[in-house]
């Protein structure tokens, strides 16, 4: 660590210009200028050192549900406020590992971008961009994407020289592939890539409202099993009211014996930051029916401003396109720099 130095003019130390001859004065002045330059250079080297690069991606498969919001998006916003170098990619190339209609995919990209920004992702702080720049819209069928998905993910991570990669537990094995590839290349050709670290937030998996033994997912047959960021107040209320619980009226937290009620308590905790014990004590005078109404009010209050902001953004598609274009341009500069260095190390240039 280089600490800033307080430079005292040599004239004041020696006793003033009248006490030294012109030659010494010139030499002192030159030395003083060089010293200032050295200090400024050292300070610039210290402050210009880049912070860890945080990279993550999310597939545009529809409106994010609260599991996506609490388990991923909220963490990205926190990391954005913690680090100066955050890159978020809407990974539409990954999403075509299953068949996608181009118009639906294009709409999903815009919806996701709006929801991310409305949730707190700031395009001025983070680089937010679309992975393919809509090239994927020309693809009519999935090809080998599903087979090479881990390689696609590893390539994205390494391309932007990522240090920290927020992922779910089920994605950690893909991070290991990226780590292995980074180490292999660095050992074979020279240092080009940081060895990325996976980052897992402390939010528990939010489970299906109708089947609390399974994870919340938009692929569920019934939309009553999940709450999306764009759900109306009444939709949120109805989904929580009809969430599966049990016949015990008291609100307690016991995942094994009472998975339904415990899922609601976990949602409550994730939205408020309170512990499970604090919540159970706070609502000890409520039965599960009244607790559902209480929780619905909390979720509605949290999601309403996000929904309103996202809907406003979706009314101005041009603004979203400009944001994603600017993000793409910034990401491209990073990618081209990496490719140039890789080609040089390999011997291609």
pLDDT digits (tens, 9 = 90+) for 275-317: 999 999 999 999 999 999 999 999 999 999 999 999 999 999 9
If DSSP codes are grouped into helix, strand and coil, which group holds residue 297? helix
Give 150: exposed, middle or buried? Use CB within 10 Å, 0-12, 13-18, 19+: middle
Q: Distance between CA 95 and CA 142 in Å, rounded?
A: 9
Span 86-97, pLDDT tens digits: 999 998 775 555
Q: 11, 205, 218, 302: which one is catalytic?
A: 218
In the chain, residues under CATH classification 1.10.240.10 are 223-314
Q: 135, 241, 317, 343: which one is catalytic?
A: 135
Q: Is 342 a residue whose pLDDT tops 90?
A: yes
Q: What are phi and psi of 198, to 5 degrees?
A: -80, 145
Q: What are phi and psi of 164, to 5 degrees?
A: -130, 130
Q: 125, 215, 274, 302: which one is catalytic?
A: 215
Q: Could you say which architecture CATH assigns to the domain 53-203+322-346?
A: 3-Layer(aba) Sandwich (3.40)
Mark whether 328 is an active-site residue: no
What single-letter DSSP state applies at residue 49?
A: S
Mark whether 290 is an active-site residue: no
In the chain, residues under CATH classification 3.40.50.620 are 53-203+322-346
Q: Is 261 a residue whose pLDDT tops 70?
A: yes
Mark whether 141 is an active-site residue: no
For residues 43 and 114, the model is more confident at 114
Q: What are phi and psi of 251, to 5 degrees?
A: -90, 115
Write the CATH number of the domain with boundaries 223-314. Answer: 1.10.240.10
pLDDT on residue 184:
97
Q: Distance between CA 179 and CA 1 in Å, rounded?
A: 28
- List b or e across 152-191, with b for residues whose CB sees 16 or more CB atoms inside 10 angstroms: bbbebbbbbbbbbbbbeeebeebbeebbebbeebeeeeee
């Amino acid at each position: 660590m280089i600490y800033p130095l307080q430079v005292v003019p040599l004239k004041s130390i020696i006793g003033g210009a009248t006490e030294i001859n012109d030659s010494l004065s010139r030499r002192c002045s030159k030395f003083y200028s060089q010293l200032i330059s050295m200090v400024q250079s050292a300070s610039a080297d210290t402050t210009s050192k880049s912070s860890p690069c945080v990279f993550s991606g999310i597939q545009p498969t529809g409106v994010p549900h609260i599991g996506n919001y609490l388990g991923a998006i909220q963490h990205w916003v926190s990391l954005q406020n913690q680090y100066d170098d955050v890159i978020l990619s809407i990974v539409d190339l990954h999403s075509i590992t299953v068949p996608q209609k181009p118009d639906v995919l294009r709409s999903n990209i815009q919806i996701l971008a709006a929801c991310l920004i409305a949730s707190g992702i700031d395009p001025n702080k983070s680089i937010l961009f679309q992975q393919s720049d809509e090239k994927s819209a020309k693809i009519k069928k999935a090809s080998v994407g599903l087979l090479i998905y881990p390689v696609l993910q590893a390539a994205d991570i390494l391309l932007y020289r990522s240090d920290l990669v927020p992922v779910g537990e089920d994605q950690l094995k893909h991070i290991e592939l990226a780590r292995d590839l980074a180490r292999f290349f660095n050992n074979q050709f020279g240092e080009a890539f940081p060895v990325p670290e996976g980052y897992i937030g402390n939010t528990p998996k939010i489970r299906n409202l109708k089947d609390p033994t399974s994870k919340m997912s938009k692929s569920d047959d019934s939309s009553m099993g999940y709450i999306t960021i764009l759900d109306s107040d009444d939709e949120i209320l109805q989904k929580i009211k009809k969430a599966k619980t049990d016949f015990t009226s008291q609100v307690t937290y016991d995942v094994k014996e009472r998975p339904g009620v415990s899922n609601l308590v976990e949602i409550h905790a994730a939205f408020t930051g309170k512990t499970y014990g604090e919540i159970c004590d706070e609502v000890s005078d409520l039965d599960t029916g009244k607790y559902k109404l209480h929780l619905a009010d909390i979720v509605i209050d949290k999601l309403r401003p996000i929904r309103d902001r996202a809907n406003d953004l979706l009314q101005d598609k041009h603004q979203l396109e400009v944001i994603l274009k600017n993000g793409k341009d910034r990401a491209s500069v990073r990618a081209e720099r990496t490719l140039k260095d890789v080609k040089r190390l390999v011997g291609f240039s």
